[in-house]
Chains A and B, each alone.
Chain A
Amino acid sequence: AQSVTQPDIHITVSEGASLELRCNYSYGATPYLFWYVQSPGQGLQLLLKYFSGDTLVQGIKGFEAEFKRSQSSFNLRKPSVHWSDAAEYFCAVLKAAGNKLTFGGGTRVLVKP
Chain B
Amino acid sequence: GAGVSQSPSNKVTEKGKDVELRCDPISGHTALYWYRQRLGQGLEFLIYFQGNSAPDKSGLPSDRFSAERTGESVSTLTIQRTQQEDSAVYLCASSLDFSREPLHYEQYFGPGTRLTVT
Contact A44 B103 (CB under 8 A): no
Among A17-25, A69-77, A101-109, the stretch that binds chain B is A101-109
Contact B98 A99 (CB under 8 A): yes
Q: How large is the interface on B (under 10, 10 to 19, 20 to 34, 35 or more residues)?
A: 20 to 34
Q: Which residue of B lies closest to A102 (CB)?
A: B45
Smallest distance from the beta carbon of A109 to chain B beta carbons, Å?
14
User: A101 to B48, alpha carbons, bound, how many Å?
Assistant: 10
A105 contacts which chain B residues (CB < 8 A)?
A: 41-42
B12 close to chain A: CB less than 8 A: no
Contact B111 A43 (CB under 8 A): yes
Taking beta carbons and an 8 Å cutoff, which residues of A are in contact with B?
A: 32, 34, 36, 42-46, 49, 51, 90, 94, 96, 98-106
Taking beta carbons and an 8 Å cutoff, which residues of B are in contact with A?
A: 4, 31, 33, 41-43, 45, 48, 50, 56, 91, 93, 95, 97-99, 102-103, 105-112
Enumerate 15 A-B pairs (CB-CB under 8 Å) in ascending A order.
A32-B105, A34-B106, A43-B109, A43-B111, A43-B112, A44-B93, A45-B109, A46-B106, A96-B98, A98-B56, A99-B48, A100-B33, A103-B42, A103-B45, A105-B41
7 tightest A-B CB contacts, nearest first: A44-B109, A105-B42, A43-B109, A103-B43, A43-B111, A106-B42, A99-B98
